Amino acid sequence: LVLILDFGSQYTHLITRRIRALSVFSLCISGTSPLSSITSLNPKVVILSGGPHSVHSNDSPSFADGFVDWAQSNGVFVLGICYGLQLLVQRLGGEVRVGEKQEYGRMDIQVEKNCGIFGGNKVGDKQVVWMSHGDEAARLPDGFEVVARSQQGAVAAVEDRDRKFYGLQYHPEVTHSPEGMETLRYFLFDVCGVNAGWKMEDVMDEEIQVINNTVAPDDHVICALSGGVDSTVAATLVHKAIGDRLHCVFVDNGLLRYKERERVMETFERDLHLPVTCVDASEQFLSKLKGVVDPEMKRKIIGKEFICIFDAFAHELEQKLGKKPAFLVQGTLYPDVIESCPPPGSGRTHSHTIKSHHNVGGLPKDMKLKLIEPLKLLFKDEVRQLGRILKVPEPFLKRHPFPGPGLAVRVLGDVTEGNALDIVRQVDEIFIQSIKDAGIYDSIWQAFAVFLPVKSVGVQGDQRTHSYVVTLRAVTSQDGMTADWYCFENSFLKEVSQKICNNVRGVNRVTLDITSKPPSTIEWE
Ligand code: XMP
């Protein structure tokens, strides 16, 4: 295991992912975790991440007392990256000071001693790397030596090979450090002697075993399928472990996309053989949403209604089985459970950073269900990989994310206004199909149509019209936290706009959203 202690860098997850991409299992925990949390994981290598802090500020995070002694006496390799290097230098008795020149962005470094961490580097003595730091190591602790310097003469890499302590002032994990991945590979395999061998097939087998050990032979498990990748892969995995003692429910809340229910149910039943009950609750949801225009209120109503339906499903099942279901499957992913060291002033706490509005259901009130979260150590791309092994159809795995409250956050204002839902469904279908036909679906994080409760004047077939305006939104993003709007070809936009106005009654104007996130959000509500 390679353990990453997170000190708040925006790149910390990337280190974890890069190492997993080398087929080595890595986990990330808060940099300030107690020593017992570190030792209980028994890592062979510990990486101290970067972070936005200065080791000189009062609230700068640090690793637990006793960590250095424990690492040394157990032969554990320690690599500090950026802030992690400075922390290591300071805690071992060296000196860190504000750099004379701050170093941000691409920078040349010169390898001075082609040994240790650079010993096997095939890229030569000069490298371009990504720096992002204000402080620098001014005096190294005893036993350390400088093995690379930046073009400005600042320390870029250090090591104390006897004690197995290493440090890089730059970020090897980002693609702007072209030789970074090679350096990490060499460090892990040649310097630390780590074995590659972590495979998604093994993850699947281990998870199946865990599920089988957790769920007794007469226990039943329930799962709400949203039609998204995470809950589908989680359910398919649990189904592989316990068969039809898994009971899934898919709720049509009247806010789904064009033919969504039919398409999703077909995948569940025909391709995945999942035992799914489809509940048509569209009337129930839409009657509760009538007249509601506040976006948060819409989300609350949808969340509450969902729990009621899930509750009823669980109780019905209990009647049928003569026994309460004992477990609930959730498709929670690793980024939702990682404890991180938030930057000061970010308003984030050390606790889990799950976005409450992004949890579709929540637990039914009185069911006292225990959770099964088989994906909780995986990143999204790893879930897709697992899905592939479980034979979840490829187009399904690559679907753009769809929010829990569905089209309710894509019809601005009252969702029951006129035939707003029908309009947005048709426009969305034309837009998405055109994107697929143009072969650009996989280059886009999310694309969709939004209904604006606004009418404008137009002229169609010599007739004056007074019809609705729709907008198209497509963004690129890594994780949905920030996003850029996607640049379509003009010819593509021209064709889509024409198709929409010619085929969707009630629309005479198509607009395009050209805002990134921030300042906008991806969804319009
Ligand atoms: P925003 O609009 O916050 O969206 O920039 C970021 C990502 O989250 C999705 N999203 C939601 N997902 N329930 C969900 O399950 C919600 O209430 C919700 N709101 C936004 C959004 O589609 C995007 O992928």
pLDDT tens sequence across 304-328: 999 999 999 999 999 999 999 999 9
Model pLDDT, residue 59: 87
pLDDT of residue 136: 86
Closest-CA residue to 306 (of 343, 251, 374): 251
Ligand 1 in reach of 478 Cβ (< 6 A): no
pLDDT value at residue 359: 45
Q: Write phi, then psi, for 353 (nearest 5 degrees).
A: -105, 40
Count CA atoms closer than 13 A to 364's CA, side-chain side: 22
How confident is the prediction for the chain on average, in pLDDT?
A: 92
CA 390 to chain centroid: 20
Picking from 261, 256, 287, 251, the residue whose alpha carbon sits closest to that of residue 416 is: 287
Confirm whether residue 226 is marked as ligand binding.
yes
Ligand 1 atom with minimal separation from the 360 CA: 15
Does 477 belong to an annotated binding site?
no
| pLDDT on residue 112 | 87
* Separation of CA 354 and ligand 1 centre (Å): 12
**Using 50, 70 and 90 to split pLDDT, how confident is the model at 24?**
very high
**For residues 477-492, average pLDDT:** 92
* Percentage of the chain exceeding pLDDT 70: 94
Does the structure's ipTM exceed the value 0.90?
yes
Q: Is 178 in the pocket of ligand 1 (CB under 6 A)?
A: no
Determine the distance separating the centroid of ligand 1 and the alpha carbon of 485, expressed in angstroms.
Answer: 16
| Residue-wise pLDDT tens digits, 215-258 | 999 999 999 999 999 999 999 999 999 999 999 999 999 999 99
User: Is 442 annotated as ligand-binding?
Assistant: no
Query: What does the alpha-carbon distance between residue 168 and residue 72 come to, in Å, rounded to a whole number?
Result: 19
Beta-strand pair 221-225/246-252: parallel
The predicted pLDDT at position 479 comes to 78
Location of structure tokens 């290591």: 88
What structural domains and CATH numbers belong to the chain? 2-191 (3.40.50.880), 200-397 (3.40.50.620), 417-512 (3.30.300.10)
- DSSP structural state of residue 399: P
Q: Does ligand 1 have an atom closer than 6 angstroms to the CB of 360?
A: yes
Atom of ligand 1 nearest to the CA of 517: 5
Does 427 belong to an annotated binding site? no
Is residue 92's pLDDT more than 50? yes
What span, in angstroms and rounded, lies between the C-alpha atoms of 193 and 122? Answer: 18
Backbone angles phi, psi at 48, to 5 degrees: -95, 120
Q: Which of 21-35, 93-107, 253-267 has the lowest mean pLDDT?
A: 93-107
Say if residue 322 carries a ligand binding annotation: no
| Averaged pLDDT for residues 472-480 | 91
Quote the ligand 1 centre to 403 CA distance (angstroms): 5
Residues 6+ away with beta carbon under 8 Å from 356: none
Report pLDDT for 361. 46
Catalytic residues: 82, 171, 173
* 50 CB near ligand 1 (under 6 Å): no
Nearest CA owner, ligand 1 atom 4: 522
Residue 254 annotated in ligand binding: no
**How close is the Cα of 450 to the center of ligand 1, in Å?**
14
pLDDT above 50 for 354: no
- Distance from residue 358's CA to the centre of ligand 1 (Å): 6
Task: Give the ligand 1 atom nearest the CA of 521.
Answer: 5
- Residue 401 Cβ inside 6 Å of ligand 1? The answer reads yes
Q: What is the mean pLDDT of residues 153-166?
A: 94
Best mutation site among 358, 402, 478 for ligand 1 pocket (most ligand atoms within 8 Å of CB): 358
Taking the C-alpha atoms of residue 219 and residue 246, their distance in angstroms, rounded to an integer, is 9
Mean pLDDT of 407-419: 96
Going from the Cα of 445 to the center of ligand 1, the distance in angstroms, rounded, reads 12
pLDDT score at 393: 95
- Structure tokens of 180? 């970074």
Does the C-beta of 404 come closer than 6 Å to ligand 1?
yes
pLDDT of residue 461: 86
What's the alpha-carbon Rg for the chain, to the nearest Å?
Answer: 27
Backbone conformation region of residue 63, classed left if phi is above 0, alpha if psi is from -120 to 50, else beta: beta
SS (H, E, C) 411-475: ECCCCCCCCHHHHHHHHHHHHHHHHHHCCCHHHCCEEEEEEEEEEEEEEECCEEEEEEEEEEEEE
Nearest atom in ligand 1 to 404's CA? 15
On the question of pLDDT at 347 being above 90, the answer is no
The pair phi, psi for residue 10, each rounded to 5°, is -70, -10
Q: Are 78 and 165 in contact (CB under 8 A)?
A: yes
Residue 355 has pLDDT above 50, yes or no: no
Spatial distance between the Cα atoms of 207 and 372, rounded to a whole number of angstroms: 10
Where does the pLDDT of residue 350 fall: very low under 50, low under 70, confident under 90, or very high at 90 and above?
Answer: very low
State the average pLDDT over residues 431-449. Answer: 98
The DSSP call for residue 194 is P
Model confidence at 120: pLDDT above 50: yes
